[in-house]
Amino acid sequence: MTVVRAALVQTTWTGDKESMIVVHEQYLRDAAARGAQVICFQELFYGPYFCQVQDKQYYAYAESVPGPTTERFQALAKELGMVIVLPVYEREDPFLYNTAAVIDADGSLLGKYRKQHIPHVGGFWEKFYFRPGNGGYPVFDTAVGKVGVYICYDRHFPEGWRALGLNGAQIVFNPSATSRGLSEYLWRIEQPAAAVANEYYVGAINRVGIEDLGDDDFYGQSYFVDPEGNYVGDKGDTHQPELIIRDLDLDLIQTVRERWAFYRDRRPDAYDDLVRP
Catalogue the active-site residues. 43, 115, 152
Residues 170-200: b if buried by 16+ CB within 10 A, e if exposed: bbbbbbbbbbbeebeeebeebbbbbbbbbbb
Please tell me the distance from the alpha carbon of residue 174 to that of residue 42, in angstroms, as a whole number. 8
For residue 119, whether the previous peptide bond is cis, meaning omega lies within 30 degrees of 0, is no
Please tell me the distance from the alpha carbon of residue 138 to that of residue 149, in angstroms, as a whole number. 8
Residues 20-38: b if buried by 16+ CB within 10 A, e if exposed: bbebbeebbeebbeeebbb
Distances (CA, A) of 158 to 62, 150, 180: 28, 11, 22
The secondary structure of 28-66, three-state, reads: HHHHHHCCCCEEECCCCCCCCCHHHCCCHHHHHHCECCC
**DSSP-based three-state secondary structure for 165:** helix
Q: Quick count: other Cβ atoms within 10 Å of Cβ 41?
A: 27
Distances (CA, A) of 70 to 31, 61, 77, 110, 147: 18, 13, 10, 11, 18
